[in-house]
Amino acid sequence: MKRIHIISIGDYTMCQLAVALQKKGYHVTGSDIVIPEEQRKLLAQHDLLPERMDWDTEMLVKGIDVVVPAMHLDKSNPELARAYEKGLLVMSFPEFIYHQNKNKVRFVVSGSKGKSSIMSMMMFALKKHKIAFDYVALNEMKGTSSSIHLSYDNRIALLEGDEFSTSPIEPRPLHLFYKPQIALLTNLIWDECESFPAFESYLESFKTLIERIDRDGKCIYFEEDMPLENLTALLRDDITGMPYKAHDTEYVDGQLMLKTRFGHYPIEVCDEYFLQNLNGARLACRQLGMQDKDFYAAISEYCTHFTKEPVSVEIRRDPA
């Protein structure tokens, strides 16, 4: 049995990771100084709540296989410093996630906006048609009780990436660790910040992600985003580029419909941005073994369930 110690287990993402690993059969320990009530309840439910709220260097004992620090921590954290001192294997969150999924088909969704929406649509459609998959989302997703699911058997891993530094101790962008076989890029919308003082540095993060797509991989991208269109013009010869745009619709007897070669499918949202994400999700699910006709049936039902309210609660981490 693998033994994993999580530093700052009260962090939303690390709490989700702890529960997912326990369900997978790992022995998980963790520590923190403050744990929000929602995470506290979940950890207590799975008998993962630390006995005391403090950094506890005594927990870093012989036999721990991996130490995973939360993404906001730096080397001043006493547990992290002790882990390095004792020579324990320390892995950043995305590095650890990659190793959990290195033998799977890694499908990575990245871009400035729309990732959560596309993830939500894909997860709903895949579950509806019983295509098994693991997933790691950076946001709380509607329609599922967890943002992370890990297994030994599922052959697909659906991973949400972003362009910001992994942590103060790991400057590389999170999405660069995942090495996708299939990548979906939504758009490139630059806002000046400490991590990306110029557009060129922002663009470089996505250029490197595209370069890290596995050999004979695929890149799905929104074709009406000009910086993204320019980047994908440089795809290697072995990578298949798959552009998408907003899905076609029309009104039939007052009902908004998706126009498809299989007929019309009712939807509830007349929004260009939503229709862009929907079409990206359709192409994505096709690469994972779903027929378009099955996707349309699922997404029509998805619209009924989830478009009356946001499909995800954004938990945007601060740029490191």
Cα within 13 Å of Cα(265), Cβ side:
20
The SS3 call for residue 303 is helix
pLDDT at 307: 61
Q: What are phi and psi of 182, to 5 degrees?
A: -135, 130
Q: What CA–CA distance (Å, rounded) separates 112 from 143?
A: 23
**pLDDT band per the 50, 70, 90 thresholds, residue 317:** very low
User: Do 236 and 206 touch, CB atoms closer than 8 A?
Assistant: no
Residue 147's nearest CA partner among 173, 175, 116, 110 is 116
Q: Within a 10 A sphere around the Cβ of 241, how many other Cβ atoms?
A: 14
Contact status, residue 94 vs residue 17, Cβ threshold 8 Å: no
The answer to whether 77 touches 168, Cβ cutoff 8 Å, is no
Sheet of strand 3-7: strand arrangement = 27-31, 3-7, 66-69
Residue 164 has pLDDT above 90, yes or no: no
The single residue listed with the structure tokens 């004979």 is: 216
Give pLDDT, residue 320.
36
Lowest mean pLDDT among 104-113, 130-139, 172-181, 309-318: 309-318
What is the second-level CATH architecture of the domain 3-91? 3-Layer(aba) Sandwich (3.40)
Kindly tell me if the per-residue pLDDT of 313 is higher than 60. no
Q: Are strands 312-313 and 140-141 parallel, antiparallel or unpaired?
A: antiparallel
- pLDDT tens sequence across 230-280: 999 989 999 999 999 999 999 998 888 999 999 999 988 768 899 999 999
Q: Which CATH superfamily is domain 96-313 in?
A: Mur-like, catalytic domain (3.40.1190.10)
- CB of 140 closer than 8 Å to CB of 312: yes
Give the pLDDT band of residue 319 (cuts 50, 70, 90): very low
Domain boundaries, given as residue ranges, for the chain: 3-91, 96-313
For the ranges 136-140, 142-146, 260-264, the lowest mean pLDDT is seen at 142-146
Q: What is the pLDDT of residue 318?
A: 41
Convert the pLDDT of each residue in 179-221 to its tens digit. Answer: 999 999 999 987 777 778 888 888 999 999 999 999 999 999 9
Buried/exposed 35-64: b ≥16 CB within 10 Å, e otherwise: beeebbebbeeeebbbeeeebbbebbeeeb
Does this model's pTM top 0.75?
yes
69-113 pLDDT, tens digit each: 999 998 899 999 999 999 999 999 999 999 999 999 999 999 989
**Domain 3-91 and domain 96-313 have a common topology:** no
- Per-residue pLDDT reduced to its tens digit, 31-65: 999 999 999 999 999 999 999 999 999 888 878 99
Rounded mean pLDDT, 287-291: 97
Across 299-307, average pLDDT: 81
Residue 174 has pLDDT above 60, yes or no: yes
Instruction: Give me the pLDDT at residue 314, please.
Output: 38
